[in-house]
Every structure is written in C-alpha cells, then in structure tokens.
Amino acid sequence: MLSIAMPSNVEIKAKVSDLEEFARKAAQLSQSQGTIIRQHDTFFNCSQGRLKLRDFMNGSGQLIFYERPDTDGPKLSRYSISPTSDPPSLKAVLSDALGVKGEIRKERRLFLIGQTRVHLDTVEGLGHFMELEVSTHS
C-alpha cells in the first residue's frame, strides 16, 4: 500500500488565567484583533489516533483525523483534513457508525504571528486556553 506523508505541525497548549491580558499581548504581536471562529467539535471513537468533526456553525466544517502523543509540552501532530458542506449529516452517519466519544463547543480567536497560529479558546464549561501551532511543512 502506498503511504502518503500526512502534513504535520508542532503545538503547545496551556490554560490561560488572564484572558484579557493574553488577548492584548497577542493582538499587539499580531498587529490585529484576531479572527473569531465558532466551533463545535464532535470526537468519534477511533481505533487509532483521533477523529473529530469540526462544525463552524455556518454550514461548513471539516473532518479531521490526527495522531498526537498524550504528553505534556510541545507535541508533533500529524493530520489529514477533508472539508464538508453538511456537518450535521456527516455527524449523524459517523455517530451511527463509530459512536461519539465527546463534544466540545468553543469560541476561538485566531491571531497570526509570523509562522505561528495563536489560538485563544473559550471552551464551554472548561475555561480559557491558548494553543500555539507551527506548521512543519511548507
């Protein structure tokens, strides 16, 4: 079987204690106020890696498969993404086929600083988090 290398990135995630201060610094460094993205992620049972459907709540979404170690600190994440124009229908099919592992709703504020994507997430029921993401491919 032909193996195609999946794209990858390095990411770091952490809880944010001062949302306003983090947003102010990110806005200053990116010279923008960031882009607001609403997301409803549904995670499905999967025999290897992770499989999630990201619904952007606007009629579009992405099915994302990724592999990432469950360790603290920077992580290399390998992934593949397929866009969808019907997230609810795809969610129903995947739920029936694989079962739902969990769901997360969040508002993401995206800042671009050089090659780094800085995410400031407000996750429903969990709090505020940041993620730094740098692509390892061109």
Position 5 scores a pLDDT of: 74
Domains of the chain: 8-135 (2.40.320.10)
pLDDT digits (tens, 9 = 90+) for 30-82: 999 999 999 999 999 999 999 999 999 999 999 999 999 888 889 999 999 99
Cβ within 8 Å of residue 59, ≥6 positions away:
85, 86, 87
Provide mean pLDDT across the span 81-94: 98
Strand partners, 77: 9
Position 137 scores a pLDDT of: 64
3-state DSSP assignment of residue 88: helix
Position 126 scores a pLDDT of: 96
Provide the whole-model pTM: 0.89
Position 1 scores a pLDDT of: 47
3-state DSSP assignment of residue 102: strand
Strand partners, 15: 129
